[in-house]
């Protein structure tokens, strides 16, 4: 018998009681040089949920994440993050909000002139009012979360792709953000390393209850996340008991030709009649 999945029970009560979504896109359109990338898309991310954003290369997945952080301004529509309409905010005001939102870029985007320690500590050092000992303690803490304490003094160029991705996760979570945005966190990694990253995201979802958008072009990663929970006793990800699908706060959003063609949970997805979708989930 599987151990009682305590994380799931806690989860359920907190998701059902949560009211306002942490991220909401309303009729957002975005184009680059007369090419429309996003065409009036709307969706929302409830608190505590992890939403997998799926679409082929160039479908605008990364653009969605950059819009959600205010790194790009949409051509039309509104984007609410933690209740604030970020399309109306100036860059200085956004800096404050971004403290509550972490992002892991596609190619990790670590600062290559800084060591792992300095990369992870970047935000704390920039804030300037935290003691060196406190910074060191928190850097070690998040690096141990991603199991990379031994790389403190290395530089990004000395790390493997999977390690860089984990350092990027550590850098994003050091301020314990309420929202995490992952851009193709498993892209270009071997299956074993991918699983490690997926496990970290599941842990973030089930242990820290972080709401997140996870861009991926590998639907199977998202299915793994929908069918597993994080077991705190063994500190490992475990498969949900049979029949328990949909018990973890995991949803899917599928983009095609600038539109959202699917937004729902794993069960809805499995029963979808859309041929384009069926092709991907088979």
Partner 1 sequence: MAAGDLLSNIELISPSQFAKEKIQAVQDYALLSARAVANLFRRPLYVADMIQQADLIGVGSLSIVLLTGFFTGAALALNSANTLQRFGSLTLIAQLVSVSMVRELGPVLTALMVAGRNASGMASEIGSMIVTEQIDAMRALGTDPVKKLVTPRVIATVFMLFFLTILADLLGLFGGAVLSTLSFGIDWHQYWSSGWQILVYQDVFTGLVKPVLFGFIISTVGCYYGMSAHGGTQGVGRATTQAVVASSLLVVVVDTVVTRLLMTVFGTR
Ligand X SMILES: Nc1ncnc2c1ncn2[C@@H]1O[C@H](COP(=O)(O)OP(=O)(O)O)[C@@H](O)[C@H]1O
Summarize as ranges the residues that interact with ligand X (CB under 6 A). 32, 37, 55, 57-63
Is residue 7 near partner 1 by the rule CB under 8 A? no
Of Mg ion, partner 1, ligand X, none, which one does residue 99 interact with (CB within 5 to 8 Å by kind)?
partner 1
| Residue 279 lies near partner 1 (rule: CB under 8 A) | no
Shortest spacing between CB 10 and partner 1, in angstroms: 29
Shortest distance, position 61 Cβ to Mg ion, whole Å: 5
For partner 1, the binding residue among 111, 137, 160, 276 (CB under 8 A) is 111
Among 85, 96, 132, 147, binds partner 1 (CB under 8 A): 96
Choose between 61 and 209: whose C-beta lies nearer to Mg ion. Answer: 61
Rounded to whole angstroms, how far apart are CA atoms 191 and 254? 23
Does 34 participate in binding partner 1 (rule CB under 8 A)? Answer: no
Give the Å distances, CA to CA, from 275 to 219, 252, 269, 280: 16, 16, 12, 9
Q: Does residue 117 touch partner 1 according to CB under 8 A?
A: no
Contact 50, 211 (CB under 8 A): yes
Of 250, 213, 248, 244, whose CA–CA distance to 230 is shortest? 248
Taking each helix axis from N to C terminus, what angle separates 191-206 and 161-173, rounded to the nearest 10 degrees?
Answer: 10
The residue (of 33 and 133) whose beta carbon lies closer to partner 1 is: 33
Q: Residue 281 is encoded by which pair of tokens?
A: 């989930």
**C-beta closer to ligand X: residue 37 or 148:** 37
Positions touching Mg ion (CB under 5 A) are 62
Positions touching partner 1 (CB under 8 A) are 66, 69, 71, 91-92, 95-96, 98-99, 101-103, 105-107, 109-112, 122-123, 126-128, 171
């Amino acid at each position: 018998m599987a151990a009682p999945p305590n994380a799931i029970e806690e989860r359920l009560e907190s998701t059902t009681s949560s009211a306002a979504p942490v991220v909401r896109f309303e009729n957002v359109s975005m184009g680059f040089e007369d090419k429309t990338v996003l065409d009036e898309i709307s969706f929302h991310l409830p608190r505590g949920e992890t939403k997998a954003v799926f679409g082929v290369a160039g479908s605008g997945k990364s653009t969605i994440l950059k819009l959600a952080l205010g790194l790009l301004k949409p051509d039309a529509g509104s984007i609410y993050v933690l209740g604030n309409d970020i399309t109306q905010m100036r860059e200085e005001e956004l800096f404050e909000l971004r403290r509550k939102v972490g992002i892991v870029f596609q190619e990790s985007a670590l600062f290559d002139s800084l060591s792992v320690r300095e990369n992870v500590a970047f935000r704390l050092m920039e804030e300037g009012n935290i003691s060196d000992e406190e910074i060191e303690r928190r850097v070690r803490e998040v690096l141990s979360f991603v199991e990379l304490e031994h790389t403190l003094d290395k530089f990004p160029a000395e790390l493997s792709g999977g390690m860089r991705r984990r350092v990027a996760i550590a850098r994003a979570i050091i301020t314990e953000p309420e929202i995490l945005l992952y851009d193709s966190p498993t892209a270009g990694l071997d299956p074993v390393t991918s699983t490690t990253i997926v496990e970290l995201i599941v842990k973030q979802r089930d242990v820290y209850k972080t709401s997140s958008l996870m861009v991926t072009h590998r639907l199977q990663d998202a299915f793994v996340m929908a069918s597993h929970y994080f077991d705190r006793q063994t500190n490992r990800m475990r498969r949900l008991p049979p029949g328990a699908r949909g018990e973890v706060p995991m949803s899917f959003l599928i983009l095609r030709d600038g539109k959202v063609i699917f937004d729902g949970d794993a069960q809805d997805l499995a029963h979808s009649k859309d041929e384009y979708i069926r092709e991907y989930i088979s």
